[in-house]
Amino acid sequence: MIKLISSGAFSKPKDKSRANQDSILPPLAIENGILFAIADGVGSYEGSGLASSLAIKKLKELIESNFLIETHAVFKSIKETINDISLNQLSLEQSATTLTYCHVFDEKIMVGHVGDCRLYIKSGSKYLQITKDHTQHQKLLDEKLFTKAELKKMSGKNTLTSAISKGVPLDVQEVSLSLVDYADENGLVNLVVMSDGAHHYWHQRPTFSEKTMINPLSFCSSLLKRIERGGPVDDYSLIAIQIKI
């Protein structure tokens, strides 16, 4: 049995003159588990904010109706929902979004991921990145064509290779983890999911004090200040939770 101890979240647009293309699902109790997620609408396409909100809405409906639904079936159903919005409006044909969700239950962590949001889990004094970015840079790294140092000088860092969209290949990453493997001596587990606008700043300096690292509200507040002090590069969203086994 798990218990939600604490959580924190934010979701804001890059600037006040434009709409936020990110959508979030704060921690939601379903059966004996907890579900949370971030969807990041691909900003270059019309209707991407709508796509991200539909992805979150459909995810919630699917898990609530069948909380053990298979991950690939979740994304297939969400893609069909997003495809449907262009049937009567051709301008929305390229609506696209990423989606990263985490479902914690029965001492397991199930992760479904498409795109470049990231899920992290605290291990010791650090947060480990669990998901892998579906980006052109990551693809080049996987194929061992370039090193990270070489890619820093190249464009394409944020070019997606997969998203939930009518015309984009759907490459789903599914991860299953054991809660016990990441619980501290008090049985506490900390998880964080961020859109790329947030993890851009976290990746530059992935550390806070230990007191901040284990407190979801402090973690949210500290990273939010760092982002707004540095000047947002994109819409930025984050959900942090702490659970107890």
**Total tally of structural domains belonging to the chain:** 1
Structural domain for 156, as ranges: 3-244
Identify the residue with better confidence: 89 or 239: 239
Q: What angle do CA 133, 136, 138 make, to 5 degrees?
A: 45
Q: Which tens digit of pLDDT belongs to each residue from 92-116?
A: 778 899 999 999 998 899 999 999 9
The pLDDT of residue 110 is 96
CA separation for the pair 35, 18 (Å, rounded): 29
Coil, strand, or helix at residue 145? coil
- Residue matched to tokens 């000047």: 231
Residue 73 has pLDDT above 70, yes or no: yes
Residue 46 has pLDDT above 90, yes or no: no
Residue 57 has pLDDT above 70, yes or no: yes
The pLDDT of residue 88 is 74
Coil, strand, or helix at residue 41? strand
CB contact set of 228 (below 8 Å; sequence gap of 6+): none
CB contact set of 136 (below 8 Å; sequence gap of 6+): 156, 157, 159, 160, 161
The pLDDT of residue 149 is 64
Name the band, by pLDDT with cuts 50, 70 and 90, for residue 61. very high
Residue 45 has pLDDT above 80, yes or no: no
Closest by CA to 81, choosing from 111, 61, 103, is 61
Structure tokens at 182: 């990441």
Q: Is residue 194 within a helix (H) or strand (E), and if so which, with residue range?
A: strand 188-194
Name the band, by pLDDT with cuts 50, 70 and 90, for residue 152. low
The pLDDT of residue 151 is 60
The pLDDT of residue 123 is 96
216-230 vs 196-204: helix axis angle to the nearest 10? Answer: 90
146: CATH: 3.60.40.10
Structure tokens at 39: 């969807």
Structure tokens at 107: 């001492």
